[in-house]
Amino acid sequence: MKKLFILFCFSFISVFAYSQWEWQNPLPQGNTLSSVWFTDANTGYAVGGDYGIGGTILKTLDGGITWSTLSIGTTNQLHSVTFADANNGFAVGENGTILKNH
């Protein structure tokens, strides 16, 4: 009985521990995302994609509250994104795809 009570308490606590999370997908799109990188507290990028649909890059300017889809010019899925500084970033993906932020 004691173990059941402890299990109930942890289950109850976990519901409230993650209450700050808010559903974002499929907004603004429904593709799988693989990597995210923030250049500062507000500006961030997420990359991914799905087979048959193509690659995706999302950008936020408000710390992830809203995201917009960027036009990228490739149909290859993207797997990772990184930035050396606020102006120089790279995304890499399927079939040797390398994209540079400019």
Residue 42: inside a domain, yes or no? yes
Q: What average pLDDT score do residues 82-87 get?
A: 92
Contact status, residue 50 vs residue 34, Cβ threshold 8 Å: no
Residue 15: inside a domain, yes or no? no
Residue 71: inside a domain, yes or no? yes
Residue 57: inside a domain, yes or no? yes
The confidence score (pLDDT) of residue 54 equals: 82
Amino acid at 85: D
Domain count, the chain: 1
Q: Tell me the residue range of the domain where 37 lies.
A: 24-100
Q: Tell me how far CA of residue 86 lies from CA of 1, 16, 18, 30, in angstroms.
A: 55, 35, 30, 27
pTM attached to this predicted model: 0.71
Q: Tell me how far CA of residue 1 lies from CA of 6, 11, 13, 58, 92, in angstroms.
A: 9, 15, 19, 49, 53
> pLDDT exceeding 70 applies to what percent of the chain?
73
Residue 11: inside a domain, yes or no? no
- What is the average pLDDT value for the chain, to the nearest integer? 82
Contact status, residue 9 vs residue 17, Cβ threshold 8 Å: no
Give the model confidence (pLDDT) of 66-80 as tens digits: 899 898 888 899 999
